[in-house]
Chain A
Amino acid sequence: MISKITAILAKEITSDLRNPYTLAGSGLFLLSSLFVCYIAAKRINVVATWVALFWIIILFTSFNAVAKSFVSETRERMLYFYTLHHPGQFIASKMIYNGLVLIVLSSVAAFVYSTLFSMEINDLALFAYGVVFGASGISFVLSMLSTIASKAGRNLTLLAVLGLPILLPIILVAITLTKNAVDGIDWSVQWKYAFVLFALNVVCLALSLVLFPYLWRE
C-alpha cells in the first residue's frame, strides 16, 4: 500500500522534473503575480489587507498548479493507470504530490511576499503552520475537484466555479489564523483555528478517499 503510493509519487516527481516547464510555469505565475501586486500597491500597512492579498495570490497560483494534474493526463494513460493501481492509492498519491508542490510554492510566496511588503510577523511558527496547512487543504480540495472538472471537459473555468465555494471554509480559517499570527495574538485564542484548519484537512482527505473510487473509470 505505502510502497505503491510512493511509487506513484516518485513517478509524478520524475515526470515533472523531466518536463519541468509546468512546474516552472506555476512558479513564474506566482512570482509575476507577486510582482504585479508589489508594483500596484508598493506598501501595505493594514494587516488584514496584507494577509488577504497574500491568500488571493496563493489561491490563484494553486488553481493554476493543480488544474494541470489531471488535465495533463491523456485518456489512454489514465486507462493504463486503472489497470495498475487501486483508486485510493492513486488519489492519495496525487493529493500528496499536489500538497507538496503547493506547500513549496506557498513557502516561496510567503518568503518573497514578506520581503517585498515588509511586515513584522509576531508569531512566525503559527504563521508557517497556517501557510502549510492552508496550502495542503487547498491542494486536497482542488485535486479532487480537478478530476470532476476534467470529466466534464471544461477545465479551468469549471474548476474555479466548483472550487471557490468549497474552498472558502479553508481559506477563511487560514486567513484568520495567519492574520492573528501576524498580530501576535495569544495561543489560547489561536488553538481553535489551528485545530479547525487541521480538521478541515482531514475531512477533505477522508472525503476524497471515499468518493474518488466512484469517479474512477468514468
Chain B
Amino acid sequence: MLVDVPRLDILNESIRNLFYHVTSWFAMVFLFIASFVYSIRYLNSGNEQHDLLAKIFVQVGMVFGAAGLVTGMLWAKYTWGAYWVPDPKLNGAAIALLAYLAYMILRNSLTDNLTRAKISAVYNIFAFVMMVIFVFILPRMTDSLHPGNGGNPAFSGYDLDNTMRFVFYPATIGWILLGLWISELRFRVDSLSQKMNDDLDIKSDRLDSIPRLDEE
C-alpha cells in the first residue's frame, strides 16, 4: 500500500485509490457473476440453497459496489473537482446498483419461498445481462472522463515501472476472497437460521398434535 507510486500532476498520491476503488469494483463484478450463475443453477435445479446463495452474493456485492462508489467519488473530488459528474461510466455504475436494489425489493415483496426464488432468479438474470451492456459496452461508445475509457489511459499507462502491479494484483485477489469469505459466513448463518425455523415449525406441529388437558 505504501509502495512508491509515480509522481504525476493532478493525480499525485490519489493514484493509490487504485488499490481500493478498482479492486472493489472487481470484487463486485465477481460476486454479481457468481449470483448470476447461481440464479441459472437455481432455475435448472430448483435447489433452495442455490437461491439463497444468489441472494447473498447480491447483498455482499452491493456492499463492495457501495465501497467502489464512495472511493470513486472521493477520488473524483480531488482530481475532477466534483463528487459527481455526468459521465456514462458513473451513471452506469449507479444504475447497476439501482437494479440490484430493485432485486432486493422484489425479493422482499414476495412472501412465498418458491415463487420468490423463481421470480427473483428470472429478474436477476435479466438485470445482469442489462448491467453488462450498460456498464461495459455503452460507456465505450461515448466519451468518458473515466480512466480507461474514451481515450483516457488506464493505470497501466501511468505505472511505468510496474511497482503498483505488485500491490494491485494481490489486492484484487484479496478483495474477491474477502467477498467470498463474507458470503460464505452469511450463507452459513442464513441456512442455520432457516434450519432453526424449520425445526421450530416441526416442534410446534408436534405440540399441536399432543392432546391438551382441557380438551380431555
* A165–B109 touching, CB < 8 Å: no
Residue of B with least CB distance to A154: B109
Nearest CB on B from A152, distance (A): 5
For the complex, count residues of B whose C-beta is within 8 A of A: 27
Report chain B residues within 8 Å CB of A154.
109
| List of A residues within 8 angstroms of B125 by Cβ | 207, 211
On whether the beta carbons of B118 and A218 are closer than 8 Å, the reply is yes
- Given A151-B115, A207-B126, the answer on whether A168 and B109 have CB atoms closer than 8 Å is no
Query: Which residues of chain B are near A152, meaning CB under 8 Å?
Result: 106, 109-110, 119
B95 proximity list for chain A (CB < 8 A): 165, 168
Q: Assuming the A-B contacts A154-B109, A158-B105, are A203 and B141 also in contact, with contact meaning beta carbons closer than 8 angstroms in the complex?
A: no
Does B11 have its Cβ within 8 Å of any Cβ on chain A?
A: no
Mask, A131-170, CB within 8 Å of B = 1, is: 0000000000000110010011110001001101110110
Instruction: Enumerate chain B residues within 8 angstroms of A176, measured Cβ to Cβ.
Output: 142
B99-154 contacts to A (CB < 8 Å): 99, 102, 105-106, 109-110, 115, 118-119, 121-123, 125-127, 129-130, 133-134, 137-138, 141-142
Q: In the complex, A173 Cα to B138 Cα: how many Å? A: 8
- Please state if A165 and B126 are interface contacts (CB–CB under 8 Å): no
Q: Is B43 an interface residue (CB 8 A)?
A: yes
> DSSP class of A's interface residues: helix, strand, loop or mixed?
helix
- In this complex, which of A145, A148, A165, A203 has the most chain B Cβ atoms within 10 angstroms of its Cβ? A165
Stretch in contact with the other chain, from A9-17, A19-27, A38-46, A192-200: A192-200
Q: From B94, which residue of chain A is reached at the shortest CB distance? A: A165
Contact B119 A218 (CB under 8 A): yes
Most chain B CB within 10 A, of A153, A164, A168, is at A168
* 9 further A-B pairs in the complex, CB-CB below 8 A; given A165-B99, A218-B115: A152-B119, A154-B109, A158-B105, A165-B102, A176-B142, A196-B141, A207-B129, A211-B125, A214-B121
Residues of A within 8 A of B (CB): 144-145, 148, 151-154, 158, 161-162, 164-166, 168-169, 172-173, 176, 192-193, 196, 200, 203, 207, 211, 214-215, 218
The 8 closest A-B CB pairs, nearest first, are A165-B99, A165-B98, A169-B134, A211-B122, A166-B130, A152-B109, A161-B102, A162-B102
Q: Would you mind naming 24 contact pairs between A and B with Cβ atoms under 8 Å apart?
A: A148-B123, A152-B119, A153-B109, A154-B109, A158-B105, A162-B102, A162-B106, A164-B102, A165-B96, A165-B98, A165-B127, A166-B130, A169-B134, A169-B138, A172-B138, A192-B141, A196-B137, A200-B133, A207-B125, A214-B43, A214-B118, A214-B122, A215-B119, A218-B118
